[in-house]
């Protein structure tokens, strides 16, 4: 992927991996557009990175996603890349039974949101000399975390969707790249994750990911820490990895 000279939209750019990628692309001379639900979070990132632009959007709202895409394309006609990073990860009390709302919100945000945004942007991208659609899945797409079953399922679906999209766009100028992070020190599941020494430090994850993106021509972006999950089935370690993630 070309990592300079883009006009790139990053959803969920107000924190965590999304903010980190936004700042990394910004530092490399790209016009970076970030989006998220909270204006205050976007304002903080923009203040720290003059030249960035931010838009609020609810990725779970079909009409809002469509309107958002139209506004971004109209304001930024050079837009040629999107990183579908926005997502939620919430534990689900399956035994207690009070989890259906969480599951439905997770599907709407993590799966329908990216599909709707890609559908809205793809006609514009097809008119660009070069374009890239990037999806963010997870190591949990390949070996699930049982306490977050719907999150894991949406990431497995994003992996599958990315494979199909890459094939369908193989004869176009639109690259399809999947980023599959491991367990990273972010606030995705709160302060415990952000401070967990077992999680990969965010700075290290971003540095390795940007290096891999610079060499990528489609395909998957896999830092070394995620490979035991990504290839657990191929190596015959699926049950052992599952048991490690989900201690009995």
Identify the CATH number of the domain in which residue 219 sits: 3.40.50.720
Contact 223, 230 (CB under 8 A): no
* Residues paired with 9 in a beta bridge: 33, 82
Residue 1 forms part of a structural domain: no
151 catalytic residue (yes or no): yes
Q: Give the model's pLDDT for residue 217.
A: 77
Domain count within the chain: 1
In tens, the pLDDT along 46-64 reads 999 999 999 999 999 999 9
In which residue are the tokens 């958002």 written? 68
DSSP 15: S
Predicted model pTM: 0.95
Over range 215-239, report the average pLDDT. Answer: 95
Q: Does some domain include residue 164? A: yes
Q: Is residue 212 part of a domain?
A: yes
Give whole-number Cα distances, 234 to 73, 109, 181, 191, 238, in Å: 41, 30, 19, 33, 8
Q: Is residue 218 over pLDDT 90?
A: no
Q: What's the pLDDT at 76?
A: 98
Q: 219-221 and 131-136 as β-strands: parallel, antiparallel, unpaired?
A: unpaired
In a domain, residue 149? The reply is yes
- Catalytic residue, from 55, 99, 151, 161: name it: 151
User: What was the pLDDT predicted at 98?
Assistant: 86
Residue 2 lies in a domain: no
Instruction: Give the structural domain span for 226.
Output: 7-245
């Amino acid at each position: 992927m070309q990592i300079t000279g883009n006009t790139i939209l990053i959803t969920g750019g107000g924190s965590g991996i999304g903010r980190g990628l936004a700042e990394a692309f910004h530092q490399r001379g790209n016009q970076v557009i970030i989006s998220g639900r909270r204006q205050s979070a976007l304002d903080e990132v923009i203040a720290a990175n003059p030249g960035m632009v931010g838009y609020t959007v609810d990725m779970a709202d079909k009409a809002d996603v469509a309107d958002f895409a139209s506004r971004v394309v109209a304001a930024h006609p050079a837009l040629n890349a999107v990183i579908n990073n926005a997502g939620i990860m919430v534990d689900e009390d399956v035994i207690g039974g009070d989890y259906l709302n969480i599951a439905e919100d997770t599907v709407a945000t993590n799966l329908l949101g990216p599909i709707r945004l890609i559908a809205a942007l793809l006609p514009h991208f097809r008119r660009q000399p070069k374009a890239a659609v990037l999806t963010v899945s997870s190591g949990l797409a390949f070996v699930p975390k049982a306490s977050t079953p719907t999150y894991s399922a949406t990431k497995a679906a994003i992996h599958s969707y990315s494979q199909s999209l890459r094939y369908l766009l193989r004869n176009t100028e639109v690259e399809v790249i999947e980023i599959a992070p491991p367990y990273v020190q972010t606030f995705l599941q709160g302060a415990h994750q952000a401070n967990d020494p077992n999680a990969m430090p965010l700075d290290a994850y971003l540095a390795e990911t940007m290096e891999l993106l610079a060499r990528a021509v489609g395909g998957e972006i896999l830092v070394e820490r995620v490979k035991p999950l990504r290839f657990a089935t191929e190596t015959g370690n699926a049950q052992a990895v599952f048991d490690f993630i989900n201690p009995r």
